[in-house]
């Protein structure tokens, strides 16, 4: 489903964000990307939906060579990829229904299909009753659920979540991550970039650990890498939410 081959990324300010990344993510897999701030998590996820291009190497998504893909074909690539952002990126002047529907409107989906898809997706994330509300009227957890609905409404093959619990309280964080697991169980490949150790430890999924732009660990049904946690503690960049799932 997703394959990185010898991928390097150096930004224009000469900062090396990723160093010789080789990674395979299978169809239907649930994977955590962990590591401290500036480890390379967000850079790696942005490469998947071609928000940026690598300095060198090859990236394949659903059998498409992302690097050599013509610019005009990028929107078609992204139709199969849903993205959930930490800061939501909701349109404040649109209702919940309109925010979710917008993802379909921009690709020319017929109105009757939009209505059916939006209602179904809002029901999936448990927010049907909020369809007339505006983003300012939502709690943090509700806002994140709407972001997930917007990412899902087009039935993407891949869902990428970049720090989806970063601004949420412990209970809501658990609800969001379990919602992502439910989506994964329906067949969607889910990639979650996070530094939330307790959630990673609780879920016991595949964990890929990044440090200084390199993959330093890759384990199945694992917990947050001890190496990554120690690195975060030393740099002072890890802030645990101290979730308790009893």
Please tell me the predicted confidence (pLDDT) of residue 231.
46
> In whole angstroms, what is the distance from residue 82 CA to residue 222 CA?
25
Residue range 20-47: mean pLDDT, rounded: 95
What does the mean pLDDT of the chain come to?
A: 88
Please tell me the predicted confidence (pLDDT) of residue 228.
56
Indicate the DSSP class of residue 95.
-
Q: Which fold has domain 34-43+79-235?
A: Rossmann fold (3.40.50)
CA dihedral 153, 67, 27, 76 (to 10 degrees): 30
**pLDDT greater at residue 222 or residue 20:** 20
The structural domains of the chain, with segments of one domain joined by +, span: 34-43+79-235
Which of 17-21, 88-92, 112-116, 126-130 shows the lowest per-residue confidence on average (mean pLDDT)? 88-92
For 60-96, write each residue's pLDDT tens digit. Answer: 999 899 999 999 999 889 999 999 987 778 999 999 9
**Is the predicted pLDDT of residue 106 greater than 60, yes or no?**
yes
Which of 115-124, 161-170, 189-198 shows the lowest per-residue confidence on average (mean pLDDT)? 161-170
Entry pTM: 0.86
For 195-239, write each residue's pLDDT tens digit. Answer: 888 899 999 999 999 999 999 999 998 777 665 545 444 433 333
> In whole angstroms, what is the distance from residue 203 CA to residue 210 CA?
19
Q: Are 144 and 84 within 8 A, CB to CB? A: yes
Among left, alpha and beta (phi > 0; psi -120 to 50; other), residue 88 is left
Nearest by Cα to 232 from 8, 37, 13: 37
The distance from CA 150 to its chain's CA centroid, rounded to whole angstroms, is 13
């Amino acid at each position: 489903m997703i394959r990185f081959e010898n991928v390097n990324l150096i930004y224009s300010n000469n900062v090396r964000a990723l160093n010789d990344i080789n990674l395979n993510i299978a169809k239907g897999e649930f994977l955590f990307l962990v590591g401290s701030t500036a480890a390379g998590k967000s850079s790696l996820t942005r490469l998947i939906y071609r928000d940026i291009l690598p300095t060198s190497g090859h990236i394949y998504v659903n059998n498409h060579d992302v690097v050599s893909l013509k610019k005009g074909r990028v929107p078609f690539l992204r139709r199969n990829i849903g993205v959930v952002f930490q800061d939501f990126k909701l349109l404040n002047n649109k209702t919940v229904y309109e925010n979710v529907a917008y993802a379909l409107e921009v690709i020319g989906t017929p109105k009757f299909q939009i209505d059916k898809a939006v209602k179904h997706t809002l029901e999936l994330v448990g927010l049907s009753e909020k369809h007339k509300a505006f983003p300012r009227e939502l709690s943090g957890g509700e806002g994140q659920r709407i972001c997930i609905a917007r990412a899902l409404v087009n039935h993407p093959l891949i869902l990428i979540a970049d720090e989806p619990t970063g601004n949420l309280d412990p209970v809501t964080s658990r609800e969001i991550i379990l919602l992502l697991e439910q989506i994964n169980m329906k067949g969607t490949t889910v990639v979650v970039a996070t530094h939330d150790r307790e959630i990673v430890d609780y879920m016991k999924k595949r964990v890929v650990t990044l440090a200084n732009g390199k993959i330093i660990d890759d384990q199945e049904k694992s917990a947050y890498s001890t190496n990554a946690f120690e690195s975060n503690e030393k740099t002072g960049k890890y802030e645990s939410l101290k979730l308790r799932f009893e």
